[in-house]
Structure 1
Amino acid sequence: MRAIAYEEFGSADVLSLRELPDPHIGPDTVLVKVVAAGVNPVDFKIREGYLQGLIDVDLPAVPGWDVAGIVEKVGLDTPEVEVGDEVYAYARKDVVSGGTLAEYVAVPVRTLAKKPASLGFEAAAGVPLAGLTALQTVRRAGVSAGQTVLVHAAAGGVGSFAVQLAVHAGARVIGTASERNHDYVRSLGAEPVAYGDGLVDRARGLAPDGFDVILDYVGGEALDTAPALLKDGGSVASITDARARDELGGQYVWVRPDSDDLAELARLIDQGVISVEVAEVFDLEHAADAHRAVETGHTRGKVVVRVAQTPA
């Protein structure tokens, strides 16, 4: 099969297109023919070696955890799916090796669900990691109706899903974003506020009593503002900064693969509760450019790699 792989840690230049053996599947795993694969910031951080000691990498490694495709072969005990099913997955395994930037990928059934019927494969491939992260942080922070919620990086891949989920829960949502993305944040149902110097005053201007929940998808300076913005007894969740847990008594979330949560996201997407924005699509041979696009940190929506033509 054709796949993107790297033999050493480094910049996107270490990625190359090559021929590799088709993956082997175990009893609780299925072989998925990849139509599209999502690219996330964690992919380039692993490739650059930043997460050594936290995530094991078996070189040469095929990167990628997000996938949308068609079940090609089933394992001995995978009653959840059949050959020909259209699925999507957050196909994270304990070791980064046989990832989703390939024509085929072995996917544990615990990490997949039926693809949202209303989405094409490319849009569906952009959902799993970001959508699960948003769903699990919103849930663990206890977002509920009547609350006032601050979402940092509201126009980003995770933040845009979190805004929509919090709005669906009945919360009033204020989201930090650059000025060029304010209309987009409004379209998601939130009130935008510019990040950067003066954020506390601007946010307090919109919510004088403070926030019941702060969802942090940036860390650093954004989380520095939490003590001044969080109500007494409020909740904070972060995916980037352990201070949310260690100093603020909140949640530090590392997203988990979960087929039930993916099915819930698919249901909300098909009901029109959640929309998905794809920023750019690259062909497999240009996957290095997809990594470079994500590295800029300025994409609105998801970056996706097209591996095969969408089935008719």
Structure 2
Amino acid sequence: MRAAVYDRFTRDFDDLVVRDVPEPKVSPASVLIEVRAAGVNPVDWKLMAGGLDAIMPTMFPVTPGWDVAGVVVAVGMDTPEFQVGDEVLAYARPDVVGGGTFAERVDVPVRAVAHKPASLTWEQAGALPLAGGTALRAIDALGDIDGRTVLIHGAAGGVGSFAAQIAVARGASVIGTASERNHDHLRGYGVEPVVYGDGLADRVLALAGGPVDAVADFVGGQLDTTLAVLRDGGMQVSVADPAVVAHGGRHIWVRPDGAETARLAAMVDEGTLKVEIAGTFGLDQVADAFRASASGHTRGKLVIVP
């Protein structure tokens, strides 16, 4: 089958090539998915540069990609939950970096797989699991936020936009940092936007009428601002700054969980969560997709369509 691969750690996206690789084996508790769409996440190109080599083993050549939506074409011996022909989606992070989802087919453990509602497009389903799962876990960790004020750092980003929508759906008053060009977009989600940069803490306190009840950081480097605006006893989470743990917060790392992915899909199905697609790319355009992602200027998700 065809897949996008790289043969060594590198920061040069042009080292990605498309070539034939062996078909994945179908282990007893997994399903083989014919890939229809696979979301691009910053972790994909950070892995390519060796960014997680200290905590995850790598087996070259590597096919990047941890998100997937597609059709089940084969099942393992212990997979009563699924059958051939099922439309599914998954956060398909493997334990060993190697066989990813930017390929024609991928083998995924059933614990990570969820059924795809018919209302989701392939692109929406492929873009949802990792970013959406990170956002869901972060907002879950804040506890009961109904009627409370939540600050979200990076509210217009891939994860932050999902988190902002989830927080609004749970009854929170949400203030979200973003560049000015994304302010109208955030208002459309029911978020009060605020520009980041010098004086951010003062602007947040003015908008909130005092300290906020909770903070979710999807940017990193925001701890000083968070501590300046968070009320005593308030909850904070961060996906990018482990230092929050020393201040009573939680550092979020999401693991593959089919039930969690199903919750996200249900939110999209019922209209409480929107998935914005910024662009689609073929297998031979993964390098272009990585460049777009690394630029930090895209709003919405980038998706590989093999």
Q: What TM-score, normalized to structure 1?
A: 0.96
Amino acid at match of 1:230: L
Asked whether the equivalents of residues 143 and 166 of structure 1 are also in contact (C-alpha less than 8 Å), the reply is no
SS at match of 1:96: coil
1:299 maps to 298
CA drift of 1:80 comes to: 1.1
CA drift of 1:110 comes to: 0.7
Listed one character per residue, the Cα deviations across residues 50-83 of structure 1 (whole Å, up to 9, x for unaligned) are: 2111122111111110001000000001111111
CA drift of 1:18 comes to: 0.5
SS at match of 1:167: helix
Whole-Å separation in 1 of the counterparts to 2:280 and 2:34:
18
Whole-Å separation in 2 of the counterparts to 1:195 and 1:115:
37
CA drift of 1:223 comes to: 2.4
Name stretches of at least 5 consecutive residues in structure 2 with no aligned partner: none
Q: Which runs of 4+ in 1 moved over 4 A?
A: none
1:287 maps to 286
1:310 maps to none
CA drift of 1:298 comes to: 1.7
Listed one character per residue, the Cα deviations across residues 68-101 of structure 1 (whole Å, up to 9, x for unaligned) are: 1000000001111111011000001111111000
**Pairing of 1:158-307 with structure 2 (within 5 A):** 158-220=159-221, 222-246=222-246, 248-307=247-306
1:44 maps to 45
Listed one character per residue, the Cα deviations across residues 160-216 of structure 1 (whole Å, up to 9, x for unaligned) are: 110111011111001000000001111111110001111111111101221111000
1:108 maps to 109
Whole-Å separation in 1 of the counterparts to 2:256 and 2:189:
25
2:80 maps to 79
**Pairing of 1:60-71 with structure 2 (within 5 A):** 60-71=61-72
Whole-Å separation in 2 of the counterparts to 1:277 and 1:108:
27
SS at match of 2:81: coil
Give aligned pairs, total: 305
CA drift of 1:224 comes to: 2.2
SS at match of 1:189: coil
1:55 maps to 56
SS at match of 1:62: coil
Whole-Å separation in 1 of the counterparts to 2:255 and 2:244:
18
SS at match of 2:93: coil
Whole-Å separation in 2 of the counterparts to 1:40 and 1:116:
22
CA drift of 1:147 comes to: 0.8
Whole-Å separation in 1 of the counterparts to 2:189 and 2:3:
35
CA drift of 1:117 comes to: 2.1
CA drift of 1:263 comes to: 0.9
2:31 maps to 30
Whole-Å separation in 2 of the counterparts to 1:167 and 1:295:
28
Identity of aligned residues (%): 54
